[in-house]
Amino acid sequence: MSEDTRVGIVLVSHSAEVAASVAELAKGLAGGATAVPVAPAGGTVSGGLGTSAELVSAAAETVDRGAGVAVLADLGSAVLTVKALLAEGDELPEGTRLVDAPFLEGAVAAVVTSAAGGDLDAVEAAAADAYSHHKV
């Protein structure tokens, strides 16, 4: 897979800072994976805590290279908003998928996998597999 057709990653958090920081951390841990399109969609449009459907749709558009978009969400309204947008049918680019994964660990796994040229299934599997990496 060429560098311009990587799977896009969208990170949806209740907080703009959390989404942006996790995006930065994931890219950094992936060895500065600059070729991977990663976009944070955190907080509300007015900068408060919450989820903005508008920011999620815009982020998905910016990372879509035609290879699919993996969306990771933190909790509650972030998850529900992405699901509602997916159910709408035309609000997110084709091939956008909500990935069931822990937010930070899943984001790192997703970015690393996308950087290595993995397809959407591989990115989803790697992110979901982060649930099985126990710490004690």
Partner 1 sequence: MLDADFFRRWMTATAASVDREAERLTALDSAIGDADHGSNLQRGFTAVAAALDKEAPQTPGAVLILAGRQLISTVGGASGPLYGTLLRRTGKALGDATEVGAAQLAEALRAGVDGVMALGGAAPGDKTMIDALVPAVDALGTGFTAARTAAEEGAQATTPLQARKGRASYLGERSIGHQDPGATSSALLIAALADTAEADGE
Q: Which C-beta is closer to partner 1: that of 17 or that of 88?
A: 88
# chain residues binding partner 1, by CB under 8 A = 16
Judged by CB under 8 A, does residue 96 bind partner 1? no
Q: Which C-beta is closer to partner 1: that of 20 or that of 53?
A: 53
The region of 33-41, 43-51, 95-103, 123-131 touching partner 1 under the rule CB under 8 A is 43-51
Judged by CB under 8 A, does residue 58 bind partner 1? no
Query: How many Å apart are CA 4 and CA 7, to the nearest integer?
Result: 9
Rounded to the nearest 5 degrees, what angle is found at the Cα of 51, between the Cα atoms of 103 and 56? Answer: 75
Judged by CB under 8 A, does residue 1 bind partner 1? no
HSE-CB of 11 using CA atoms within 13 angstroms? 28
Q: What number of helices (H) and strands (E) belong to the chain?
A: 5, 4
Q: How far is the CB of 47 from partner 1 (least distance, A)?
A: 11
Q: 96 pairs with which residues across the strands? A: 69
- Which position among 31, 32, 48, 66 is part of the footprint of partner 1 (CB under 8 A)? 48
Judged by CB under 8 A, does residue 50 bind partner 1? yes
SS3 content of the chain, % helix, strand, coil (to 5): 50, 15, 35
